């Protein structure tokens, strides 16, 4: 059985007063459980907590080797620019292979937790409406993964060209004859749609097409283009590519989440390095609805400034 520490023992272990321990539980997330009215602290989780909260963590060769040393498995939310970036990576590094599983944002987080992928992609809007992904990552992980921004992108409603049904907002979905095409429950786009419906006071179950689900932003656009639906939530670059009308909702942050024990794997660093290449930026700038001003920078919870990841750790991998 793994060792449990008492409040006094954990205070001694951390070198603090016992009263400080309760502050660490409530404010700093010190791992603890209450059994028969007393706090106990699993020693192995306390050690992990200290490691996670270590500042200026030294660079070192990790003991854990990649399961697939030449593979970059990516899972989560799909994105047009990400698909093009994966293709660029595979052209640029022919001894490595990046692959993607379209599981939705929450599916990607769970795949990362199970070590089924090395990078998860997510754009889950938190309840406060100002932050993305951290709240959901905290629910899934004991050790929150490293978060690197991939892009910001514009979400909104795609409509048939010319907007023949005169749709102006989500409230028009309550009108007879307006059909929705939707995304699955595990996606950040569905999460955003449900949030918008709730804000507008709409019961989603009353919307025609609410359970009409497709697997990607492109499929949403194609369903509207083919006449199978009148509106659906998706990203502007797809609407522009398909010649659809677009009602903007918000700019969202789309992040890459990487397990801490995978971050310095060569293929991961190769993939992050390509985000700084001129060819990537040219490709991103050719698409409507993307902002790459923070691309490749680490993102930290509760910090408005997006910080750049340590270029010293990438420089040796940034080119072939």
Q: Which CATH number fits domain 156-250: 3.40.190.10, 3.40.50.150, 1.25.50.10, 3.30.930.10?
A: 3.40.190.10
**Contact, 252 vs 193, CB < 8 A?**
no
Mean pLDDT of 64-92: 87
3-state secondary structure of 277: coil
Mean pLDDT of 183-192: 94
pLDDT higher than threshold 90 for residue 317: no
pLDDT over 90 for what percent of the chain? 62
User: Which is the CATH superfamily of the domain at 71-154+252-313?
Assistant: Periplasmic binding protein-like II (3.40.190.10)
pLDDT higher than threshold 80 for residue 84: yes
pTM, 2 dp: 0.74
Q: Select the more confidently predicted residue: 62 or 185.
A: 185
Burial (0-12, 13-18, 19+ Cβ within 10 Å), 123: buried
What is the spatial distance between Cα 181 and Cα 73, in angstroms, rounded to a whole number? 29
**Contact, 298 vs 263, CB < 8 A?**
no
**Any residues with CB less than 8 A from the CB of 276 and at least 6 apart, and which?**
296, 314, 318
Tell me which H or E stretch contains 225: helix 217-225
Residue-wise pLDDT tens digits, 245-270: 999 999 999 999 998 888 989 999 99
Mean pLDDT of 271-291: 96
């Amino acid at each position: 059985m793994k060792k449990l520490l008492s409040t006094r023992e954990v205070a001694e272990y951390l070198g603090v007063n016992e009263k400080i321990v309760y502050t660490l539980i409530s404010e700093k997330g010190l791992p603890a459980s209450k059994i028969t009215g007393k706090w106990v602290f699993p020693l192995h989780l306390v050690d992990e907590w200290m490691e996670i909260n270590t500042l200026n963590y030294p660079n070192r060769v990790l003991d854990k080797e990649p399961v697939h040393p030449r593979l970059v498995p990516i899972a989560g939310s799909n994105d047009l620019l990400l698909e093009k970036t994966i293709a660029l990576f595979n052209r640029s590094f022919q001894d490595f292979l990046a692959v993607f599983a379209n599981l939705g944002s929450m599916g990607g987080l769970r795949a990362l937790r199970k070590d089924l992928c090395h990078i998860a992609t997510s754009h889950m809007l938190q309840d406060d409406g100002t932050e993305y992904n951290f709240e959901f990552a905290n629910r899934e992980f004991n050790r929150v993964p490293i978060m690197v921004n991939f892009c910001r992108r514009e979400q909104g409603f795609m409509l048939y060209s010319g907007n023949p049904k005169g749709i102006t907002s989500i409230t028009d979905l309550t009108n007879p004859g307006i059909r929705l095409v939707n995304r699955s429950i595990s996606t950040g786009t569905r999460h955003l749609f449900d949030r918008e419906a709730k804000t507008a006071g709409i019961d989603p179950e009353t919307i025609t097409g609410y359970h009409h689900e497709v697997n990607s932003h492109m499929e949403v656009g194609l369903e509207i283009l083919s006449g199978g639906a009148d509106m659906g939530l998706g990203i502007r670059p797809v609407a522009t590519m398909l010649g659809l009308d677009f009602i903007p909702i918000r700019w969202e942050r789309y992040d890459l989440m990487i397990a801490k024990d995978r971050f310095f794997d060569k293929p991961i660093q190769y993939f992050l390095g390509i985000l700084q290449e001129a060819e990537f930026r040219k490709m991103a700038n050719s698409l409507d609805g993307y902002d790459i001003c923070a691309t490749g920078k680490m993102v930290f919870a509760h910090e408005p400034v997006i910080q750049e990841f340590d270029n010293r750790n990438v420089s040796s991998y940034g080119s072939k």
